[in-house]
């Protein structure tokens, strides 16, 4: 919906073409349904921190697919434009300016630098455009006190805790023989995501906290950032295997791409490798679980995030109460639950025939 040309028929436009035709015949002279049909396009501007990220690509694909379905369902044109911030906050702010100049109705923002949200929100507010942040969570001061600013994502600590539970279950399962050194201590390495990302900080902390809270003694052999990236993780892991070899009992990885990178290095190393766990449940990670290479992962609900963003955007565009469209918490947040995946429930997550 373009606010500048909003007409008295706009609420009805989404109810379908047949209704629109009836309205065209019935509407008062001030109401122009033919023009409405042309201009009542809802324009969604999507700004990504980078397009080159497996998880973000799947959120974007889900969103594009749902937009197409919604167009058919609602009989309404929805234009979705996706811009790649190329990991540069200045570039992303220029893209936001462009969306606003062109009269986009709602911004969906996967912000590059989560501490830089205030500038972006000020710009959108000046144009009276709502902003839905996703996946990269701005600091709460930037969200909580603003009107029509939202965040859709999953609670980072929950993702970390579930990953910790996967490892705790494995540690307690004697058949897996996780304590290879037999010293009663779990030796691990940690592949961290991008520094400063809420998921890096909290998944790293909580995955290990679950073990120590359960009384498991742990020893960190090494940890470093591989920036969510498979290639960087593989290089890091190759180095750690060189230094520690079979001493490494578990590889915690803040996401699946890096877990797959670790497995690349382990394959090249050759010996029976350590247990590896990730987060996201991307298609290649689930595939690696079905071949038994990856021990477990935690579903980061790309589809749920896309669904919530679209429902929120449609409600905002209609001027409806967003709390009626999504499970809105504290007036600004939609939280999607994580789910842990291991061999016991893998089948539920594999695409049909994936096994």
User: Within the chain, how many helices (H) and strands (E) appear?
Assistant: 14, 12
Supply the angle between the helices 54-74 and 302-317 in degrees, to the nearest 10.
Answer: 40
Q: Which of 105, 280, 301, 311 binds ligand BGC (CB under 6 A)?
A: 280
Regarding 155 and contact with ligand BGC (CB under 6 A), the answer is no
Regarding 207 and contact with ligand BGC (CB under 6 A), the answer is no
Whole-angstrom distance, CA of residue 42 vs CA of residue 173: 53
Regarding 135 and contact with ligand BGC (CB under 6 A), the answer is yes
Nearer to ligand BGC, 170 or 299 (CB): 299
Nearer to ligand BGC, 137 or 187 (CB): 137
Minimum distance of ligand BGC from residue 135's CB (angstroms): 5
70 phi and psi angles, rounded to 5 deg: -65, -35
Residue in 302, 339, 355 with CA at minimum distance from that of residue 166: 339
Minimum distance of ligand BGC from residue 137's CB (angstroms): 9
Nearer to ligand BGC, 85 or 130 (CB): 85
Nearer to ligand BGC, 36 or 257 (CB): 257
Q: How many residues bind ligand BGC (CB under 6 A)?
A: 13
Nearer to ligand BGC, 157 or 199 (CB): 199
Regarding 163 and contact with ligand BGC (CB under 6 A), the answer is no
DSSP string covering 254-281: SSHHHHHHHHHHHHHH-S---EEE-SB-
Regarding 255 and contact with ligand BGC (CB under 6 A), the answer is yes
Residue 287 Cα distances to 282, 311, 333, angstroms: 9, 31, 32
The sign of the dihedral angle between the CA atoms of 186, 187, 193, 198 is positive
Q: Which of 36, 40, 165, 199 binds ligand BGC (CB under 6 A)?
A: 199
User: Where do we find the tokens 């803040």?
Assistant: 254
Strand partners, 30: none
Regarding 171 and contact with ligand BGC (CB under 6 A), the answer is no
Binding residues among 48-107 for ligand BGC as defined by CB under 6 A: 53, 55-56
Per-position x/- string for 9-48, each x denoting binding to ligand BGC as judged by CB under 6 A, each - no binding: ----------------------------------------
Nearer to ligand BGC, 10 or 300 (CB): 300
Q: Name the helix (H) or strand (E) containing 155.
A: none
Helix, strand, coil in percent for the chain, rounding step 5: 50, 20, 35
Minimum distance of ligand BGC from residue 49's CB (angstroms): 6
Minimum distance of ligand BGC from residue 277's CB (angstroms): 13
DSSP string covering 203-235: HHHHHHHHHHHTT-EEEEEEEEE-TT-HHHHHH
The sign of the dihedral angle between the CA atoms of 110, 111, 112, 114 is negative
Q: Which of 104, 188, 228, 333 binds ligand BGC (CB under 6 A)?
A: 228
Q: Which of 45, 260, 300, 304 binds ligand BGC (CB under 6 A)?
A: 300
Catalog residues that contact ligand BGC under the rule CB under 6 A.
53, 55-56, 135-136, 197, 199, 228, 255, 257, 279-280, 300
């Amino acid at each position: 919906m373009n606010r500048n040309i909003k007409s008295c028929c706009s609420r009805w436009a989404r109810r379908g073409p047949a209704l629109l035709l009836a309205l065209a015949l019935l509407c008062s002279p001030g109401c122009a349904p033919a023009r409405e049909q042309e201009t009542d396009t809802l324009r969604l501007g999507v700004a990504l921190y980078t397009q080159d990220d497996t998880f973000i690509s799947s959120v974007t694909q889900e969103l594009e697919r749902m937009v197409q379905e919604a167009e058919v369902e609602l009989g309404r044109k929805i234009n979705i434009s996706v811009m790649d911030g190329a990991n540069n906050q200045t570039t992303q702010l220029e893209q936001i300016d462009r969306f606003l100049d062109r009269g986009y109705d709602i911004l969906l923002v996967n912000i590059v630098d989560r501490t830089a949200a205030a500038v972006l929100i000020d710009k959108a507010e000046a144009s009276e455009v709502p902003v839905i942040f996703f996946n990269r969570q701005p600091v709460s001061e930037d969200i909580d006190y603003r009107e029509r600013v939202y965040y859709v994502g999953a609670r980072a600590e929950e993702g970390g805790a579930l990953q910790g539970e996967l490892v705790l279950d494995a540690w307690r399962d004697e058949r897996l023989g996780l304590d290879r050194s037999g010293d009663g201590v779990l030796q691990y390495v940690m592949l961290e995501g991008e520094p400063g990302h809420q998921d890096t900080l909290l998944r790293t902390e909580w995955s290990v906290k679950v073990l120590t809270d359960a009384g498991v003694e742990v020893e960190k052999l090494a940890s470093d950032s591989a920036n969510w990236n498979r290639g960087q993780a593989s290089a890091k892991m190759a180095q750690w295997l060189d230094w520690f070899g079979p001493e490494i009992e578990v590889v915690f990885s803040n996401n699946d791409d890096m877990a797959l990178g670790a497995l690349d290095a382990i394959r090249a190393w050759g010996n029976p490798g350590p247990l590896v766990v990730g987060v996201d449940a991307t298609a290649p990670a689930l595939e690696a679980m079905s071949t038994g290479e990856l021990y477990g992962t935690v579903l980061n609900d790309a589809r749920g995030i896309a669904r919530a963003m679209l429902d929120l955007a449609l409600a905002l565009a209609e001027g409806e109460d967003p709390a009626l469209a999504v499970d809105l918490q504290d007036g600004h947040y939609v939280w999607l639950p994580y789910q842990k995946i291991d061999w016991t429930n893998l089948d539920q997550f594999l695409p049909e025939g994936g096994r």
